[in-house]
Amino acid sequence: MTPLDKYLDEFSSPLPQALEWLERETHLRTSHARMLSGRSVGALLRHMTLMLEPKRVLELGVFTGYSSICIASALEEGSVLDSVEINDELEDLIREGYRRAGVSGKINLMFGDAKEILDTLSGPYDLIYIDANKREYIAYYQSALELLRPGGYIVADNVLWDGKVYDENPPRDAQTRGIMAFNDLVANDPRVENFILPLRDGLNIIRKR
């Protein structure tokens, strides 16, 4: 932990204690622990949820459930988070994290391809968080925007992609191209207004007009 991280921890409100267990277990039981949303993004999601007081939230990409817990812990009674994850091998870990955080009753966890599941959902949602396959961000966005109420927010993670998107000679892999095309689409979409927050790996904060 860097001195900055220590300072931020010391002078920020604590997140749900179950996240410490989940972070440790994610490192022990998966090989992609860097995919965790982490404290800074988790805290932002929690506070956006507190501010917006959403009745319905949609999450595309759960991994081991860190972001789910941050969002669900801030939901009022009767509100629900619909969470979509493609890797069902993570189900036991995800559900144990939810149980430890006391949020199981607020989350509807679904497994499958996010593009296919989006076609089965009906709106309106108040807040949508996207952190799934970077190659498919445009497809997720187009479907999510249809499900989002006017004035609602989409938050898309990893939009700076380790700085590759603004490199003078960006790599041409499918994930980088997917993120670059997504950022370009959002910036020029008259249906929304947005800004990119350079927090961790970049968050595109998008409000539907």
The residue ranges of every structural domain in the chain are: 37-208
Is 80 exceeded by the pLDDT of residue 1? no
- Return the CATH number of 37-208, one of 3.40.50.150, 3.40.50.720, 3.90.190.20, 3.40.140.10: 3.40.50.150
Q: Give me 160's structure tokens.
A: 């700076």
pLDDT digit string, tens, across residues 20-70: 999 999 999 999 888 999 899 999 999 999 999 999 999 999 999 999 999
Comparing CA positions, the residue from 105, 101, 78 lying closest to residue 15 is 101
pLDDT digit string, tens, across residues 142-177: 999 999 999 999 999 999 999 999 998 888 899 999
Question: Is the bond into 124 cis (omega within 30 degrees of 0)?
Answer: yes
- Helix, coil or strand: residue 150: strand
- Which residue has better confidence, 79 or 171? 79
pLDDT digit string, tens, across residues 173-184: 999 999 999 999
pLDDT digit string, tens, across residues 183-194: 999 999 999 999
CB atoms within 10 A of CB 46: 21
Q: What is the mean pLDDT of the chain?
A: 96
Show the DSSP H helices in the chain as ranges.
3-10, 18-29, 38-52, 66-72, 91-101, 114-118, 137-147, 174-187
% the chain with pLDDT above 70: 100
pLDDT of residue 127: 98
